[in-house]
Protein backbone atom coordinates (compact mmCIF):
# COMPACT_ATOMS: atom_id res chain seq x y z
CA UNK A 1 0.00 0.00 0.00
CA UNK A 2 2.87 2.35 0.85
CA UNK A 3 4.48 1.61 -2.51
CA UNK A 4 1.21 2.32 -4.31
CA UNK A 5 0.81 5.75 -2.60
CA UNK A 6 4.47 6.61 -3.25
CA UNK A 7 4.12 5.61 -6.91
CA UNK A 8 0.91 7.63 -7.26
CA UNK A 9 2.60 10.67 -5.70
CA UNK A 10 5.61 10.34 -7.97
CA UNK A 11 3.42 9.95 -11.07
CA UNK A 12 1.28 13.01 -10.15
CA UNK A 13 4.27 15.29 -9.52
CA UNK A 14 6.02 14.21 -12.71
CA UNK A 15 2.89 14.90 -14.81
CA UNK A 16 2.41 18.34 -13.25
CA UNK A 17 6.05 19.30 -13.62
CA UNK A 18 6.07 18.50 -17.35
CA UNK A 19 3.06 20.71 -18.08
CA UNK A 20 3.02 23.14 -20.98
CA UNK A 21 5.55 25.88 -20.57
CA UNK A 22 5.76 29.09 -22.55
CA UNK A 23 8.91 29.25 -24.66
CA UNK A 24 11.18 32.11 -23.69
CA UNK A 25 13.44 34.17 -25.83
CA UNK A 26 16.42 35.68 -24.08
CA UNK A 27 16.20 38.77 -26.30
CA UNK A 28 12.62 39.56 -25.24
CA UNK A 29 12.46 41.99 -22.37
CA UNK A 30 9.35 43.42 -20.80
CA UNK A 31 10.50 46.60 -19.17
CA UNK A 32 7.88 48.57 -17.34
CA UNK A 33 8.58 52.21 -16.67
CA UNK A 34 6.64 53.80 -13.87
CA UNK A 35 5.75 57.45 -13.80
CA UNK A 36 6.70 58.80 -10.41
CA UNK A 37 4.72 61.84 -9.33
CA UNK A 38 6.38 63.77 -6.56
CA UNK A 39 4.06 64.62 -3.68
CA UNK A 40 3.84 68.40 -3.32
CA UNK A 41 3.92 69.88 0.14
CA UNK A 42 3.91 73.45 1.34
CA UNK A 43 6.13 74.41 4.24
CA UNK A 44 4.31 75.96 7.24
CA UNK A 45 0.95 75.87 5.44
CA UNK A 46 -1.81 77.60 7.46
CA UNK A 47 -5.42 78.53 6.77
CA UNK A 48 -7.20 81.43 8.49
CA UNK A 49 -10.81 82.48 8.17
CA UNK A 50 -12.42 85.76 9.20
CA UNK A 51 -16.08 86.72 8.78
CA UNK A 52 -16.97 89.86 6.89
CA UNK A 53 -18.57 92.54 9.09
CA UNK A 54 -21.41 94.88 8.14
CA UNK A 55 -19.93 98.38 7.88
CA UNK A 56 -22.82 100.03 9.77
CA UNK A 57 -23.80 97.51 12.44
CA UNK A 58 -20.50 95.59 12.68
CA UNK A 59 -22.52 92.36 12.75
CA UNK A 60 -20.82 89.30 11.36
CA UNK A 61 -21.98 88.26 7.91
CA UNK A 62 -22.33 84.69 6.64
CA UNK A 63 -19.33 84.97 4.34
CA UNK A 64 -15.78 86.04 4.83
CA UNK A 65 -12.18 85.90 3.71
CA UNK A 66 -9.93 82.86 3.74
CA UNK A 67 -6.20 83.55 4.02
CA UNK A 68 -3.75 80.82 3.05
CA UNK A 69 -0.11 81.28 4.13
CA UNK A 70 3.10 79.32 3.53
CA UNK A 71 6.84 79.84 3.81
CA UNK A 72 7.96 77.68 0.88
CA UNK A 73 7.20 74.63 -1.21
CA UNK A 74 8.93 71.24 -1.25
CA UNK A 75 9.66 71.01 -4.98
CA UNK A 76 11.02 74.53 -5.53
CA UNK A 77 8.25 75.52 -7.98
CA UNK A 78 7.55 79.17 -8.78
CA UNK A 79 3.74 78.98 -8.37
CA UNK A 80 1.54 77.42 -5.72
CA UNK A 81 -2.14 76.60 -6.34
CA UNK A 82 -5.17 75.36 -4.47
CA UNK A 83 -8.05 73.60 -6.21
CA UNK A 84 -10.92 73.56 -3.69
CA UNK A 85 -14.58 72.62 -3.39
CA UNK A 86 -17.15 72.69 -0.62
CA UNK A 87 -17.33 69.14 0.76
CA UNK A 88 -20.09 67.19 -0.97
CA UNK A 89 -20.25 69.39 -4.10
CA UNK A 90 -18.62 69.05 -7.51
CA UNK A 91 -17.98 72.74 -8.22
CA UNK A 92 -14.22 73.29 -8.15
CA UNK A 93 -12.39 76.62 -8.00
CA UNK A 94 -8.68 77.16 -8.42
CA UNK A 95 -6.57 79.98 -6.98
CA UNK A 96 -2.83 80.42 -7.45
CA UNK A 97 -0.04 82.82 -6.57
CA UNK A 98 3.74 83.05 -6.88
CA UNK A 99 5.42 81.10 -4.07
CA UNK A 100 7.37 84.25 -3.19
CA UNK A 101 4.12 86.03 -2.18
CA UNK A 102 3.85 83.65 0.85
CA UNK A 103 0.06 84.13 1.13
CA UNK A 104 -3.15 84.61 -0.81
CA UNK A 105 -6.69 85.59 0.13
CA UNK A 106 -10.01 84.34 -1.18
CA UNK A 107 -13.16 86.38 -0.49
CA UNK A 108 -16.75 85.18 -0.49
CA UNK A 109 -16.14 81.93 1.43
CA UNK A 110 -19.29 80.87 3.32
CA UNK A 111 -18.77 80.36 7.06
CA UNK A 112 -18.86 77.07 8.96
CA UNK A 113 -18.17 74.85 5.97
CA UNK A 114 -15.66 72.08 5.31
CA UNK A 115 -13.72 72.22 2.03
CA UNK A 116 -11.73 69.59 0.18
CA UNK A 117 -8.62 70.85 -1.61
CA UNK A 118 -5.73 69.66 -3.72
CA UNK A 119 -2.37 71.39 -3.39
CA UNK A 120 -0.62 72.15 -6.66
CA UNK A 121 2.50 73.79 -8.00
CA UNK A 122 4.19 74.60 -11.26
CA UNK A 123 6.39 76.93 -13.26
CA UNK A 124 3.46 79.20 -14.17
CA UNK A 125 -0.27 79.75 -13.70
CA UNK A 126 -1.06 77.59 -16.73
CA UNK A 127 1.44 74.84 -15.91
CA UNK A 128 0.16 73.39 -12.62
CA UNK A 129 0.34 69.85 -11.27
CA UNK A 130 -1.86 68.83 -8.32
CA UNK A 131 -1.47 66.16 -5.66
CA UNK A 132 -3.57 63.04 -6.06
CA UNK A 133 -4.63 62.90 -2.41
CA UNK A 134 -7.02 65.53 -1.08
CA UNK A 135 -6.71 67.47 2.15
CA UNK A 136 -9.26 69.58 4.03
CA UNK A 137 -9.65 73.07 5.45
CA UNK A 138 -12.63 74.75 7.08
CA UNK A 139 -14.24 78.13 7.49
CA UNK A 140 -15.33 77.71 11.10
CA UNK A 141 -16.03 80.93 12.97
CA UNK A 142 -17.44 81.73 16.38
CA UNK A 143 -20.93 81.55 14.89
CA UNK A 144 -20.59 77.76 14.71
CA UNK A 145 -21.78 77.71 18.31
CA UNK A 146 -25.52 78.18 18.68
CA UNK A 147 -26.93 79.44 21.95
CA UNK A 148 -29.14 76.94 23.72
CA UNK A 149 -29.98 79.21 26.61
CA UNK A 150 -31.85 77.67 29.48
CA UNK A 151 -33.70 79.79 32.00
CA UNK A 152 -32.51 79.53 35.55
CA UNK A 153 -33.76 81.13 38.73
CA UNK A 154 -33.90 84.90 39.05
CA UNK A 155 -30.57 85.10 40.79
CA UNK A 156 -28.80 82.62 38.52
CA UNK A 157 -28.26 81.92 34.87
CA UNK A 158 -27.68 78.77 32.90
CA UNK A 159 -26.11 79.18 29.49
CA UNK A 160 -25.17 76.30 27.22
CA UNK A 161 -23.68 76.20 23.77
CA UNK A 162 -23.81 73.59 21.06
CA UNK A 163 -22.74 72.70 17.54
CA UNK A 164 -25.22 71.44 14.94
CA UNK A 165 -25.20 67.65 14.95
CA UNK A 166 -24.63 67.19 11.20
CA UNK A 167 -21.64 69.55 11.23
CA UNK A 168 -20.22 67.81 14.30
CA UNK A 169 -20.53 64.47 12.48
CA UNK A 170 -18.58 65.87 9.50
CA UNK A 171 -15.83 67.14 11.79
CA UNK A 172 -15.55 63.78 13.54
CA UNK A 173 -15.50 61.95 10.17
CA UNK A 174 -12.53 64.00 8.98
CA UNK A 175 -10.63 64.12 12.31
CA UNK A 176 -11.83 61.40 14.66
CA UNK A 177 -9.17 62.15 17.28
CA UNK A 178 -9.98 65.85 17.41
CA UNK A 179 -12.85 65.57 19.87
CA UNK A 180 -11.77 62.37 21.63
CA UNK A 181 -8.70 63.24 23.62
CA UNK A 182 -7.46 61.15 26.50
CA UNK A 183 -7.55 63.06 29.77
CA UNK A 184 -5.09 62.11 32.50
CA UNK A 185 -5.56 63.09 36.13
Round to whole Å and give the CA distance between 162 and 144. Answer: 8
pTM: 0.62
Round to whole Å and give the CA distance between 104 and 96. Answer: 8
Highest mean pLDDT range out of 62-66, 159-163, 166-170? Answer: 62-66
User: Would the pLDDT of 130 be above 90?
Assistant: yes
Q: How far is CA 5 from the centre of its chain?
A: 61
- Residue 120 forms beta bridges with which residues? 81, 130
Q: How confident is the model at residue 53 (pLDDT cuts 50, 70, 90)?
A: confident
For residue 174, which of 130, 115, 133 has the smallest C-alpha distance?
A: 115
Q: What is the DSSP code (8-state) at residue 86?
A: E
- Asked if residue 70 lies in contact with residue 43, where contact means CB atoms within 8 angstroms, the answer is yes
The domain 42-143 is placed in CATH, from the list 2.60.40.10, 3.40.50.970, 3.30.300.30, 1.20.1260.10, at 2.60.40.10
Domain ranges of the chain: 42-143
Q: pLDDT per residue over 3-28, tens digit each?
A: 544 444 444 444 444 444 444 455 54
Amino acid sequence: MKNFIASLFLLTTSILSFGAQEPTNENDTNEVSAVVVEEISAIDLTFGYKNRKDSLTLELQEDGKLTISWSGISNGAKYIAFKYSKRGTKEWKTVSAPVSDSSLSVSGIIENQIFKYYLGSGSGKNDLTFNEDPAYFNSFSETIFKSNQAKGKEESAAITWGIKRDLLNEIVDLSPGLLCRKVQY
